[in-house]
Amino acid sequence: MTRVVLGVSGGIAAYKACELLRLFTESGHDVTVVPTAAALEFVGAPTWAALSGKPVATDVWSDVHEVPHVRIGQEADLVVVAPATADLLAKATHGLADDLLTSTLLTARCPVVFAPAMHTEMWEHPATRANVSTLRDRGSLVIEPAEGRLTGKDTGKGRLPEPREVFELCREVLARGTTGAPDLTGRHVVVSAGGTREYLDPVRFLGNRSSGLQGYALARAAAARGAEVTLVAANTSLSDPAGVKVVRVETTAQLRQEVVSAAGSADAVVMAAAPADFRPVAPSGSKIKKPTDGSAPAIELTQNPDILHELSADRLRPGQVVVGFAAETGDATGSVLDLARAKLARKGCDLLVVNDVSGGAVFGSAENEAVVLAADGASVDVPRGSKAALAHVIWDEVTKRLPSR
């Protein structure tokens, strides 16, 4: 059974860690909760004990004969600290070990995930910035807090991401195991997801069936590998992946603007979105009325810019890896792979992820099957599997092509 240590430090978000604990235990993980003394001011030991089915200790003086300050960390497959306060991050950075959680962090040799939660000022303070940077350099995964309502009247960056999303990220880290060090730490990646809408009038639009699932899987996988992730999401209704900056858009023009703006500092851009290729030339400012004579209005369309082509041509940052997607069926002019090779050359990107949609669409499905074609001639067959698995193959191929640091 997978052994998880859930460290909880003393912030109000400790209550959300109860939900995280449930998600771990209900999916069969063996969880040892190690709260700090301050965490117990927010949520008491009986709650942690009841939800984990184990006794809970915070100091190093209980069950000393079992040497818990060393054993808990040594035996863990994953340590996740949620919430991680500014104080806890500082202690971890400096190797302090004055309680059971900080001692556990010193003895753990497994992946360690910190999910910080604090007020924006504390997160942005140079001391915290330096601590986070040191922890990341040492191989820990420190996820970016979410933006939104904080304790009291404040809003800003500093929220603990939704427990389900912290859980999903931890599952990805566990699946990669101890060999899967966060290889995208220090890299900024941009992922687009979903399908754009082009409005005919204030209530009607041209759209498509893209669910955004593959783009979200890519964003989640990149965050689990340590990347700073910007997810430009068009009309999706999925929850924000933990540690990911989500920018919401509707139209292809908005998608283009946000992707291009974020791409300026990106090491890689993955265009998993399905931008509408056409938009009405003159959208109506008011709702188009149904003609009484039974006719239908003609709608003149114009082409949208091809964002992938533009990114590939402009290369907004030297060495940037640009990835596109293609859904192909094959036709009289060529097989799926012939058409995909031609598209790869036409678009000018480095990698093209090709879905063969001849046998039915993959929209909304949790699974995907693909071939990743590279401009350098390589190709990787990805058998039918989860969108998360495909996402990791794509990041593996991206990582191989990033300039070394």
Q: Residues in the site for ligand CTP, rule: CB under 6 A?
A: 252, 271, 273, 275, 277, 304, 306-308, 324-327
Active site residue ranges: 208
Q: How far is the CB of 306 from ligand CTP (least distance, A)?
A: 4
Q: How far is the CB of 305 from ligand CTP (least distance, A)?
A: 6
Nearer to ligand CTP, 74 or 302 (CB): 302
Q: Is the peptide bond before 83 cis (omega within 30 degrees of 0)?
A: yes
Distance CA(80)–CA(330), nearest Å, equals 46
CA angle 85, 188, 317 (to 5 degrees): 150
Nearer to ligand CTP, 163 or 275 (CB): 275
Nearer to ligand CTP, 17 or 259 (CB): 259
- SS3 label, residue 271: strand
Distance CA(279)–CA(114), nearest Å, equals 44
Own/partner pairs, 108-111, CB within 8 angstroms, 24+ separation: 108/5, 108/73, 108/74, 108/76, 108/79, 109/73, 109/74, 109/178, 110/76, 110/77, 110/78, 110/79, 110/178, 111/78, 111/79, 111/141, 111/173, 111/174, 111/176, 111/177, 111/178, 111/180
Nearer to ligand CTP, 145 or 324 (CB): 324
Nearer to ligand CTP, 82 or 190 (CB): 190
Cross-strand pairs, 274: 195
Q: How far is the CB of 304 from ligand CTP (least distance, A)?
A: 5
Of the candidates 358, 252, 242, the one whose C-alpha atom is nearest the C-alpha of residue 305 is 252
Cross-strand pairs, 328: 356
DSSP-derived secondary structure letter, 157: E
End-to-end CA, the chain: 38
Contact, 236 vs 194, CB < 8 A?
A: yes
Nearer to ligand CTP, 80 or 193 (CB): 193
Distance CA(212)–CA(194), nearest Å, equals 4
Distance CA(241)–CA(223), nearest Å, equals 8
User: Which amino acid, residue 22?
Assistant: R
Q: How far is the CB of 252 from ligand CTP (least distance, A)?
A: 6
Distance CA(36)–CA(43), nearest Å, equals 10
Q: How far is the CB of 311 from ligand CTP (least distance, A)?
A: 7
Number of helices (H) and strands (E), helices first, in the chain?
A: 14, 19
Q: How far is the CB of 367 from ligand CTP (least distance, A)?
A: 19
Q: How far is the CB of 275 from ligand CTP (least distance, A)?
A: 4
DSSP-derived secondary structure letter, 331: B
- Report how far apart, in Å, the C-alpha atoms of 10 and of each of 40, 69, 154, 266, 350 are: 7, 19, 19, 35, 46
Distance CA(211)–CA(63), nearest Å, equals 51
Residue 228 has phi, psi (to 5 degrees) of: -80, 125
Nearer to ligand CTP, 33 or 274 (CB): 274
Q: How far is the CB of 337 from ligand CTP (least distance, A)?
A: 14
Nearer to ligand CTP, 32 or 210 (CB): 210
Contact, 306 vs 230, CB < 8 A?
A: no
Contact, 352 vs 372, CB < 8 A?
A: yes
